[in-house]
Amino acid sequence: MEAFRLFPQNPHFRPLDTLNESARERHAIYKMVDFSGVFENMCRLRRDHPRTEFQDQLEILLELETHGFDVHSLRSRLMEMLSCKDKREALETGSKDPEDHLEIECVKVQERKIHIMLIDCQINELREKRERLVKENEESTMNIAAWEKEVAEIEEAKCECDRKFYELANARY
């Protein structure tokens, strides 16, 4: 039994003094098996095991202590394990809030990225539209200049016609 090699024991079994010798020996063996069992159970305990399993082992250690077993090392280790388990559970419980916030913020970032992409597309469309309108304005400005020139030439020609008409009308025969 590995437990007795690592944790040598000298139990006194005084609570068994009231039993007859045969029963006393049987109960003493049971207590030794209990001690070994607690040790083995502690080696198998995992963080996700229920708290009651840890508490059960502590209760068995308390009983063994009344029979003279030195359970200090095992109890300390078990208490540390339980403390780590409790601390981990508290962290898990407390970490839900930051995890929720993290998830919410990630969703917000994704939504903003989509909005930014849509705005970028709109900006590109507006830039293209602006460039097209600027080009059309330049063409229209050139057309206006050409039409103004033509209108001016026509007006000048009309004035010339009017001048010539009045000249002819007022000319002496």
Q: Using an 8 Å Cβ cutoff, are 87 and 124 in contact?
A: no
Angle among Cα 25, 41, 90 to the nearest 5 degrees reads 140
Q: Is the pLDDT of residue 134 over 90?
A: yes
Q: For residues 16 and 128, which has the higher predicted lDDT (pLDDT)?
A: 128
pLDDT tens-digit readout, 5-49: 888 888 888 888 888 888 888 998 999 999 999 999 999 999 889
Q: Using an 8 Å Cβ cutoff, are 32 and 69 in contact?
A: no
Task: Please give the pLDDT value at position 91.
Answer: 81
pLDDT tens-digit readout, 152-169: 999 999 999 999 999 888
Nearest Cα neighbor of 81 from 108, 110, 42 is 42
Residue type, position 172, single letter: R
Q: Which positions ≥6 away from 82 have C-beta within 8 Å?
A: 51, 54, 58
Confidence grade of residue 139 (pLDDT, cut at 50, 70, 90): very high
Secondary structure (DSSP) of 33-76: HHHHHHHHHHHH--TTS-HHHHHHHHHHHHHHHHTT---HHHHH
Q: Averaged over 128-141, what is the pLDDT? A: 96
pLDDT tens-digit readout, 34-89: 999 999 999 999 988 998 999 999 999 999 999 999 999 999 999 999 999 988 88
Task: Please give the pLDDT value at position 95.
Answer: 67
CA 149, CA 142: separation in Å to the nearest integer?
A: 11
Nearest Cα neighbor of 68 from 23, 5, 17 is 17
Percent of residues, the chain, with pLDDT higher than 70: 98
Alpha helices in the chain (DSSP H): 2-6, 21-44, 51-66, 72-170
Percent of residues, the chain, with pLDDT higher than 90: 62
- Give the position of tokens 């008409």: 165
Count of helices and strands (H, E) across the chain: 4, 0
